[in-house]
Structure 1
């Protein structure tokens, strides 16, 4: 029995071995899983939107399917193969082919992104208020030229060109579109252009939008929203004009669809009447994780206008740490810096604290870094500024901004920003020295750079003025001579000629340097010089003293006058003689001869036109003018005399020969304005005397007197001779005085006017 059983087993084994394919045939006959296949997804490469009704060919098996509305086509129950070839095509798109390997028991996804044969950039034209001309491009992505023609479907649209050819291989043709809103009521108009491509691709309707504004309604703009949270956002708007009537309300509108409009409660902020300027809205409540569109609006009784700007925002879906960044680090000094930062979003919850942390050693500072400045609350619009102090010069620093909210324990940290403090700044130093080679219209100015400083000197030179006693660059009535940049040296002498000056004039000047990135530095002192002038014998400019600046050393002295601002506003460059006279120190240098010109600037007080005698300017000996022995002359006020009872200015002259008095009215009181400075000039030519006010001749008189004895006598202004007693009735002139000049020449009318014009304020 055992032998028979053994034989049967051997027989069965031999049958299996003799037919090895039986197992394979059995596998082949098993059903193929349905999910063993290919799922094709077709999208537009530009928009990522699904492409429906595209033809998908499985060329390996000669199968074909169209894509559904979601852009998919599925081939199921495919056998295992090394590769399947897929081809996708649709009119208007370039055909694409891919090879795909199907895995056992799996569905294999394949994505096709089709490139349009023709593209339109931008996809539509939206004309905002006041826009009239725009362009779009037609791009040909195929390997063949494509002809086109354009039909305009609306009478307010015109195009150029209306036909043509678009070259192949990515070339483009620009189309210019012009719109016309004349005679149209305020609204948003929609129109189209029909573009025909001769059957190469389907025709296209290109959309055109035109906004006709309500010119009587307000105009408004909108800025990018900030501080976006789960339920709100901050948006800035600006009213640019109020329109024909006052604004009734304004704010922002928002919705989950584009071009939101005013009117739906809970979708707009509502602020009342105001003028032009900025305003801020907190929009909400919004839904977390949702896309919204926002724009500004403003209304009056004539209508409503919206901002041409419209922004897309997405609210947060979860609570996070606030977003924050360092905007700028500026205003560097060796020990300080200014950090400007911004909280870009609050993470969906209220910000409770914020600040700046910095370090010179830690490249990743954070909210726990000891060197920091922190503040409580939430900054307006998310912007904040921190001024860092006590920094080390010439040092690199790392800085971050941070913020915390009440929903997340960890703060939001900005990216690290680095900055370097500069080296300590050593200021340049400059001095000014006496001018030389002074001529009628030129002089050589001199100075020294005693310290170059730590900043590069990009300019240096001199600034000068005839009237401004504190000459500076860009200051009133100042001129300058630039000598350009300057190479570094321990000490340098600087010198330059200046030309075009006015003869016989007092000038103020100082030296300057301008460091790179810094303010101008001036010499502490100001020098003066007087240009030469023929026949000038005495010149008192009253620049803080009574020196004769003509160079002839015919100096003066004072008995109590005080320095005041001059007619140009320069401090202490004129004298007030109401408290004391200015008298020439007696010399024998320049006596009165056949020709003489006196020039003086005065600002009078009304009190001069009443009361006793008040001397404006005179020249004479030691006797009182009322004495018969007096030899000299003066112009003065004497309201007690019939000639001067109206406050007119008189002229008095006597030669000491006991001859009768000579008193004449020479300047009319009505021509004197006590609010301004006046220029008075006396000219003697032999026995003829002329008197001028502000460059104009007032009186001409002849006096037969002998002045040969006046050589050692003196000029005085403001008060009488000390030899006069109180009973003579002289008192101080109540006036301010400047620039007293004396020439041994008789000026002509033209020369008097020239002198007035070159010195007038």
Structure 2
């Protein structure tokens, strides 16, 4: 019997707890009557006067869970309120505006509605002959913004423009830009701002000693961060050049971000003014040709991007330049072998292409005579370059061949060419003196 009494009581307690939990709501939905009506009302109401019969009413709305807006033209209280869709924030009024002692009188109110619930009203009420509007800010960057304004006056203005500061309520004594005295819409690109900084800005117009201001807008410039860049594939590799590039996908919020390539014969190359290219500013793909490379050498390469925040790099790639091809220039050799005691001059190993500092054998052949003491010279075309062996003795190796080994000069002494010749001058003198010229050959 006791168990039957306690069990219904336990059920009752559980139900009370569940009901209490279900009623513990967070009032943040405009459709909930208990949500405070002031937290979801329209804000930043502004009036843009185009002329004496045309104005634009604008506002902002952060709460998206609404059905629309109710706008009341209090200039004509007998008119019915105007229902405006929730995705709109602009209303054109082409009424005949009433001129009172203070000037044109404008009086509007707007509120949002969700179901049967309505937010608090936001009101714009002003009477005057000059109206200045701060319309909008766009294209916010790290050091600049674009801003639009409007000025209407029944007479004229001395000047108009925008003023801004890092504190609320900027005035014409703050930073400003003057944009002339014409009435109507105007705009400006505001530059030289500090990055990652909160600013306050508004339109202004002056007439005589009076200053008229539009509404104040707040914005924060972007923070400059490291850019993002990738390195593209390397192509067109030669013995002294290659083509590569990259893609700057994000400039790090800086219009001054430069991009290019950097390379080194060691891994992990970094940007410097020597082994690098500069491909200017702007996001997107680019291509660079790197020159003056060393043949048969491995290089490491990265794309880089640099701004006020630092230098970022793309992925590292490597490549090896090709071997330097032998030169193939036209040769101008006019000398001929002498007719005295004609020898046949040849070079060993044969092939006519030699590297710097190679050792070669100068071979002199004659079926009846052996080469005597002779000098060996190096020429390029018809220009004497150097003496390779002075009054040196040749070794008789038999079968009419006499030989002498010489060493070709280094790359620091001569340049690459395919127009070199060896010339052997016999020193016996008289009728037995001889001068022999080899076929042209290459040193590189």
Instruction: Name the TM tier (shorter chain).
Output: 0.3 to 0.5
Q: TM-score, normalised by structure 1?
A: 0.22
Higher radius of gyration, 1 or 2: 1
- Return the TM-score normalized by structure 2: 0.34
**Higher RCO (Cα < 8 Å, 6 or more apart):** 2
